Amino acid sequence: MRSCRRWTLGAALALAVAVLIPPAGAGQGPPAGRHGALALRVVSSPPELVSGGAARVEVTVPARVARADVTVELNGTDVTAAFRPDPAGNHHLEGVLTGLPLGESTVAVRVRGPGKARPNRVELAIVNHPITGPMFSGPRQEVFLCSTAGHRATALLGPIIDQKTCSVETQVGFFYRSTAPESGRWKPFDPRAPRPADMATTTLEGRTVDFVIRWERGTINRFIYSIAIPSPGGQDPAAPDLSAWNGKLLYKFEGGVGIGHYQGAPSRSDMLYEPGLALGYAIAYSTGTTTDTHYNLQLGAETAIMVKSRFVVAYAEPKYTVGVGASGGAVQQYVYGQNHPGLIDAGVPQYSYPDMVTQTIHVGDCELLERWLDSKVLADPLSKWRTWANRRLVEGLNTSDVMPNPFAPLMPYMPRLGSTECINGWRGLSPLVLNPHFGTAPGITPEQQAAVEWTHWADLVNIYGRDVTGFARNPWDNVGVQYGLQALRDGVITFDEFLDLNARAGSWKEAKDMVQEGCPYLSTACPFDVDVWSARNMSLSPDGGLTPAPRRQGDRQAQQAAYRSGMVFRGRIDIPLIDWRHYLEPFLDMHHSHQSFAARQRMLNFAGDASNQVIWFTDARPAGPQFDQTPLALLVIDEWMANIRAHPERGVSGNKPAAAVDSCFATDGSLIAAGDDVWAGILDERPPGTCTQLFPIHATSRIVAGGPIEGGIFACFLQPVDAAVDRRLYAPWTPTPEQVARLHQIFPAGVCDYTKGDAGLPPELHGRGRR
């Protein structure tokens, strides 16, 4: 049975760069300092991850102990005056310790009993880190550029006061939601002035109150953070008014794809996330938990821990913390929920993927396959591959005959209308992730530009390390991958087409051999140096396919480091999750629908249970997204969390409210179907459920090459070609001796055997979980 966790001593222990994910259940138990009924607990963060010189601490004392008999000490100094009775009662005292020195300190509580009873004493070691970081993310990324004045203006922040840490003066102000129709309707609020005629109201727990917020923003861990909280009462910056707060914290994670080296551009709509504020939530946000700033989820988790700590220290311990965010914001919820139990207590991942690093596996195939497909059309204008739907056979992702192709002017050999998800959704991502020469940041100088290794792997070099060439290790691998295998087995491509595809698909060069991109990625290269596929950075056949193009063997140390650091979501998560997305398959959007089920399958693989994850789809056809199901998800999460607080012994699945069930919704948000069987047929052999039939999902290049739906295999175990033939892997085809000989040429090391899992999994993780 799954159960919620709070901050625990070992939950976020990441003082080394790479952290081995503990098994489910690790880190649970009593608070870090305890002696019988006497206990100490840091509620603002794990005790070893305190930051900014302050921590909120809870003291639990035995029943019938007078407060006068309790003494709290910090490094031997009496700090009892900082503690007050916890509003929740239960024999708790709570206080904020400030002025903590860097490094380790000791908090102690002593209770003197009546008569001749001996005093009881417990101690708790805490470790304080600077507010500028780092705590556990490792050496700082350099070059690192501070936000431009224009970007800081979004958060109404002043100039940088420390270029090394990109620090700014913390700002606290009060704003009200205007009913005026213009955009950007948050306006400064002056309680001394007459009440604005355009002030909006909101209903919080049955009360209609003025929609006024307290907005704090500044810098933490070199990134811009924001805390917004409903505040219709007092407007004293030094004394937050919590009267309208619902007692819950919503952490707004943001998506995008970035390579780092920049403080980031804050989003006003995410900092002041109106659906949450309107329901009474406090909203926490940081450019460091925005994947458009960087995709280093070790650094992101560290930042989230520090931002939440700031909130709990300055305001209060929330009843619970719920994560909300789309795309990379959803990835963060799955990865942080796995790696740092207690950081978020529930999540609403929107347009989710299980993680970022395993998405590069199939995304890295896109341009290899598009180049081969285009080459067939260029050689034969009547080729079957000129039909967009046929491209789905080898790419797995969706295609469309009606979606406009943004690269159509550079592809005159294809129909003017129509495209693939590889083109519309993913084109340009391969060079961004793989090419050390492709990337930039606002304000960077040409010298700095040349000195930076612009790859995702270099962004996480503290995790992946460097190879003998000095470049960051890269886990991407396609050795043994038989592109188009399912299409061959289905009889829709011939064996000769299958062989040609796999002989000519190729792979990506090593970072040391890559060069700068051409058109359309560099405008100065257009219109003469067109290379939409980044073919100049591919390892291709030297003679048009007679000699098979080489495949790339991924760096095994990088693959294992991705697992050990928790950058791979393996399914170890035990919080309520409502995974919601608009159904975007017809629009060739990169947020393809099967990823929600990929996350579920990983949870099933790990624990045999995914009952804490609910999957919701809302129809976006025909015109695009119209209805946001997130407010409903927050209401369901709130009921779910209330049930858990009331009946913790039932665990997460035992406390699910009636609405916390797999569902699909119409474009107006109305329910179409709900129940445990609505998605039947996707991860099992049952007849397709109602939602499965209404919302068809698609695959990826690795799935149609024989891989599993969870898409988490960096490097397959290999089987000899002859063994694959004997197993009738290509049935109903029986390859001829000549075709078998060609397979040996293309796959000299063998072909993938996906039944054995991931060869990149570290040895110590084999057997951890069901897989």
- Residue 21 C-alpha from the chain's centroid: 17
Question: Shortest CA distance to 485 belongs to which of 736, 733, 749, 745?
Answer: 733
Please check whether residue 113 is in contact with residue 69, taking contact to mean a CB–CB distance below 8 angstroms: yes
CA distance 404 to 537: 27
Prior bond to 85 cis, omega within 30?
Answer: no
**Where does the pLDDT of residue 564 fall: very low under 50, low under 70, confident under 90, or very high at 90 and above?**
very high
What's the rounded Cα separation, in Å, for the pair 315 and 317? Answer: 7
Nearest to 713 by CA among 466, 480, 548: 480
Q: Do 594 and 698 meet the contact criterion of CB atoms below 8 Å apart?
A: yes
Domain-by-domain residue ranges, the chain? 33-129, 149-319, 359-558+705-765, 571-694
Using only C-alpha atoms, what is the Rg of the chain? 28
For 404, other C-beta atoms within 10 Å of its C-beta total 13
Find where tokens 């070199």 sit: 222
Query: In sequence order, which ranges of 272-358 are alpha helices (DSSP H)?
Result: 274-277, 297-314, 328-339
CATH of segment(s) 33-129: 2.60.40.10
CA distance linking residue 359 with residue 361, whole number of Å: 5
Q: What pLDDT, on the 0 to 100 scale, is given for residue 114?
A: 59
Q: Which residues contact 472 (CB under 8 A, 6 or more apart)?
A: 453, 455, 457, 458, 460, 461, 464, 465, 466, 511, 558
The strand pairing partners of 613, in sequence order, are: 577
Closest by CA position to 230, among listed 268, 286, 290, 275? 275
With beta carbons less than 8 A apart as the criterion, state whether 724 and 618 touch. Answer: no
Q: Compute the distance between CA of residue 633 and CA of residue 322 in angstroms, rounded to an integer.
A: 11
Q: What is the DSSP string of 161-175?
A: EETTTTEE--EEEEE
**For 120-177, what is each residue's pLDDT tens digit?**
899 999 999 999 999 999 999 999 999 999 999 999 999 999 999 999 999 999 999 9
Tokens of 700: 């990826």
Residues 467 and 706 sit within 8 Å (Cβ to Cβ): no
Average pLDDT estimate for 75-92: 86
Predicted local distance difference test score (pLDDT) of residue 34? 64
Give tens-digit pLDDT for 359-381.
Answer: 999 999 999 999 999 999 999 99
**Cβ proximity of 690 and 672 under 8 Å:** yes
pLDDT at 63: 80
Collapse the DSSP code of 508 into the 3-class scheme (helix H, G, I; strand E, B; otherwise coil) and give the result: strand
> Which is nearest to 424 in space by CA: 456, 402, 439?
402
What's the chain's average pLDDT?
92
In this prediction, residues 605-622 reach a mean pLDDT of 96
Q: Which residues contact 766 (CB under 8 A, 6 or more apart)?
A: none
3-state secondary structure of 570: coil
| pLDDT score for 18 | 32
Q: Which of 746, 756, 573, 715 is nearest to 652 (CA)?
A: 573
- Give percent of the chain above pLDDT 70: 93
Residue 157 CA to residue 170 CA, distance in Å, equals 8
Percent of the chain with pLDDT over 90: 86
Tell me what pLDDT residue 327 has: 98
Residue for token pair 């947020």: 591
Tell me whether the omega of the peptide bond preceding residue 415 falls within 30 degrees of 0, making it cis. no
Q: For 189-238, write each residue's pLDDT tens digit.
A: 998 889 999 999 998 888 899 999 999 999 999 999 999 999 988 778 78
User: In angstroms, rounded to a whole number, what is the distance separating the alpha carbons of residues 176 and 190?
Assistant: 9
Per residue in 409-441, pLDDT (tens digit) is 999 999 989 999 999 999 999 999 999 999 999
Q: Which pLDDT score is estimated for 30?
A: 40
